[in-house]
Amino acid sequence: MTLCFATHNQHKVKEVQAILGEAFILKGLDEIGCSEELQEDKDTLEGNSLQKAEYVFRKFGVSCFADDTGLEVEALNNEPGVFSARYAGEQRSAEDNMNLLLKNLASQVNRNARFRTVITLITPEGIRQFDGEVQGKIIDDKRGTEGFGYDPIFLPDGFSKTLAEMSLAEKSAISHRARAFKKLVAYLKGRKTSSVHHE
């Protein structure tokens, strides 16, 4: 089965292909001829993922899914949340984002945080949404070179490695994105999931 993943981020395509396995052929936006940046101007992860998937489905006529992921930090009233990618500005620099987050957390004892992903799948049959999350803590120093975004400062609960210190296989086993995509895969394979169905 061929699906479009509504992203230009090849790191994400690679991660998700590893989760989906050989039963699915995954194409990014570049591979379907979509060069523009998709709008993300909603105030929820659900809204952003739906906005992106709807645009691709309507304009390119392909079954597709889009995700939106946010890092929610308890001591910062769940910031950066929906603004995670551009927390430090429209340049969308992971380094700038991490540095600003660490600065804003400098005086905080509570380092609890969670990554949350929401996926919207649109096919000719309709629209479905799936979510996944992983709980953890924000550490003071960046560790690791794998992954992307805030991975070097996020330590998942129960682990001694940050997401950026984990191999792709290790991260795929526990990540928020992996958990959401496992629900998507289960649905695509006809299994029951705990997804939210939008008529």
> What pTM value is reported for the model?
0.82
Quick check: 196 pLDDT over 70? Answer: no
Q: Identify the active-site residue in 67, 68, 131, 151.
A: 68
Tokens standing for 23?
């039963």
State residue 104 phi and psi, 5-degree precision. Answer: -70, -20
How far are the Cα atoms of 85, 117, 152, 183 from residue 131, in angstroms, in the given order?
A: 18, 6, 22, 8
Q: Does the annotation count 68 as an active-site position?
A: yes
Give the model confidence (pLDDT) of 7-24 as tens digits. Answer: 998 888 887 888 777 878
CATH number of 2-198: 3.90.950.10
**Residue 106 pLDDT grade (very low, low, confident, very high; cuts 50, 70, 90):** very high
State residue 56 phi and psi, 5-degree precision. Answer: -65, -45
**Residue 178 pLDDT grade (very low, low, confident, very high; cuts 50, 70, 90):** confident
Are the C-beta atoms of residues 156 and 133 closer than 8 Å to each other? Answer: no
Domain spans of the chain, in order of start:
2-198
Mean pLDDT in residue range 83-89: 93
